[in-house]
Amino acid sequence: MFSTTTSCWVSISAAMPSTFNAMDIAAYFERIGLVYNPAERPGSGLLRRLQFAHVTSAPYENADIVRGIPLSLNVDDLYKKIVTNRRGGYCFELNGLFRQLLREVGFNVKAEYFARFLRGEKEIPMRRHRVIRVEADGRDLIADVGIGNVAPRYPLLLEEGIIQEQFGETYRFRRDDFLGWVLTELHKGSWRDVFSFTEEPQLGVDFEATSFFCERHPSSPFNKEWMFSIKTENGRKTLDGKIFKVFVGDEPVEIKEIDEEEIPSVMKDVFGIEF
């Protein structure tokens, strides 16, 4: 069993900007299975490699939330957690640190947005997702390494109506008068919404209150049981509570209930997480 802290809750650290030195960047690249080349220009090819490497190396995971350990959105704390301690996180953490990496290697990170995650929702939900708008080769893209479910492994061009295919998945953006930009995916022959965002730029500190809600509120889906996920080239592997699944595309090809004492081994062997 994992122990949970009983100490008093402390406030989330301020999500202030930080800077990485060359060793920090090299270590971050190594964490996601890449080799840092300072001479490489920040183009769309590098951006694609970075996002793919990130989602297949740094897992989506909520272990600290379940264990009652307060999160910090401070860049230095995120670096220590995800790079130094080889952990993962959820969208506010993963995309917060990824944004900083993109800036450090020379990308023009134009904005971060609050998004509404729409897939599976019957009513319009609150904004509780974080996405990055970045320029590469003169075009704007949405980069996102913070979704545990089916999601793009490559950044997507922020252009209305164009079909974007990758790894057997098909996406496109549409515009909505209220929701703003809406990412949709082709699912069983019809389009369904994934997430939406409007174009009010956010500061790092703007995500703190919602992250606190996700950590502590009784209605939050993030604080009930383990939520682990890591992308593969043709699918993903997940741990939801005690249920371990291997997906090819969006179809599970393996489903197994894990005994309580086996969970730490699965976290270590499959997701690379060890406490």
Distances (CA, A) of 229 to 56, 64, 102, 141, 162: 9, 15, 23, 24, 28
Residue that the structure tokens 């290697």 belong to: 105
Residue 262 lies in a domain: no
Per-residue pLDDT at 231: 98
Per-residue pLDDT at 8: 34
DSSP string, 59-97: -EE-HHHHTTPPP---HHHHHIIIIIS---B-HHHHHHH
Residue 245 · residue 179 · CB < 8 Å: no
CA separation for the pair 235, 237 (Å, rounded): 7
Contacts of 115 (CB under 8 A, 6+ apart): 127, 129, 130, 131, 195, 196, 197
Residue that the structure tokens 């959105």 belong to: 73
Domain total in the chain: 1
Residue 129 lies in a domain: yes
CA separation for the pair 5, 9 (Å, rounded): 10
Per-residue pLDDT at 17: 56
Residue 31 · residue 83 · CB < 8 Å: yes
Contacts of 130 (CB under 8 A, 6+ apart): 91, 92, 95, 96, 112, 113, 114, 115, 146, 202, 207
Low-confidence ranges of the chain (pLDDT < 70): 1-17
Structure tokens at 190: 């019809």
CA separation for the pair 78, 66 (Å, rounded): 18
Report the CATH number that the domain containing residue 204 is assigned in CATH.
3.30.2140.20
Residue 242 lies in a domain: no
Instruction: Kindly report the pTM of this predicted structure.
Output: 0.92
Residue 261 lies in a domain: no
Per-residue pLDDT at 19: 82
Residue 177 lies in a domain: yes
Backbone angles phi, psi at 195, to 5 degrees: -150, 165
Residue 247 lies in a domain: no
pLDDT tens track for 88-120: 999 999 999 999 999 999 999 999 999 999 999
Residue 244 lies in a domain: no
Per-residue pLDDT at 18: 73
Per-residue pLDDT at 147: 97
Residue 237 lies in a domain: no
Give the mean pLDDT of the chain: 93
Range of the domain at 34: 22-219
